Amino acid sequence: MSAHELIVGGQRSGKSRRAEKLALAWPGRVVVIATALAADAEMRERIAHHRASRPAGFETLEAPLALSAALQQTDDAAALVVVDCLTLWLVNWLMPVSGTPDAAGWQAERTALLGLLPRLQSRVVFVSNEVGWGVSPLGREVRDYVDELGRLNQDVARRCGQLTLMVAGQAWTRPVEDASDA
């Protein structure tokens, strides 16, 4: 079974803090793969806060689109890789600030990620939002995004050994029942 973990929850539920806690307990190298793009002032502030609060010694690699390549670049049996987060990674593909979504590029990158996970030597901790628990969005583009994130979270979870749901800063962790290497 895979040693990877998917941490999901709502906004401000403690997902990143939980991933950081796991990373601080890791005895080896820690790499954070950040997927956010600084497209506006508020996001620039969020990114700056994350950078400033990241523990010393954590390496950071920015990969807003090429997550598979970043995971391959950091692959090392002694490393823990924190991907923060799948939610923004998907936004960068399907709702880019600068233009039209690259649906073919997204499908290729998604396929590459899912195929790569079982082969990675690094332990990977993914952070992602659970956005499908609220009211169904009115716009088609947002509904499509919510559906795609739900499918992505399910597919990543199946390739992880553990799933953690964060609720109000509390972790609910369990083994993934239908974990597979497919």
What pLDDT digit, counting tens, does each position of 103-150 carry?
999 999 999 999 999 999 999 999 999 987 877 777 888 889 999 999
pLDDT at residue 52, as a whole number: 87
**Structure letter (DSSP) for residue 2:** -
pLDDT at 29 over 90: yes
CATH number for 34:
3.40.50.300
pLDDT at residue 179, as a whole number: 56
pLDDT at residue 180, as a whole number: 54
**Structure letter (DSSP) for residue 46:** H
pLDDT at 67 over 60: yes
With respect to residue 144, please indicate whether it lies within any of the assigned structural domains. Answer: yes
- Rounded to whole angstroms, the Cα distance separating 110 from 115 reads 9
Quick one: pLDDT band at residue 7, thresholds 50, 70, 90?
Answer: very high
With respect to residue 178, please indicate whether it lies within any of the assigned structural domains. Answer: no
With respect to residue 182, please indicate whether it lies within any of the assigned structural domains. Answer: no
Rounded (10°) angle between helices 86-94 and 103-116: 150
With respect to residue 72, please indicate whether it lies within any of the assigned structural domains. Answer: yes
Known catalytic residues? Answer: 50
pLDDT at residue 139, as a whole number: 85
CB atoms within 10 A of CB 142: 14
Contact in structure between 182 and 154 (CB atoms under 8 Å): no
Residue 79 neighbours by CB under 8 Å, 6+ apart: 28, 29, 30, 31, 122, 123
Residue 140 belongs to domain spanning: 5-165
With respect to residue 111, please indicate whether it lies within any of the assigned structural domains. Answer: yes
pLDDT at residue 181, as a whole number: 47
Contact in structure between 39 and 97 (CB atoms under 8 Å): yes
| 41-65 average pLDDT score | 90
* Percent residues over pLDDT 90 in the chain: 72
Six-digit token string for 119:
């082969």
With respect to residue 170, please indicate whether it lies within any of the assigned structural domains. Answer: no
With respect to residue 153, please indicate whether it lies within any of the assigned structural domains. Answer: yes
Please give the tally of structural domains in the chain: 1
With respect to residue 174, please indicate whether it lies within any of the assigned structural domains. Answer: no
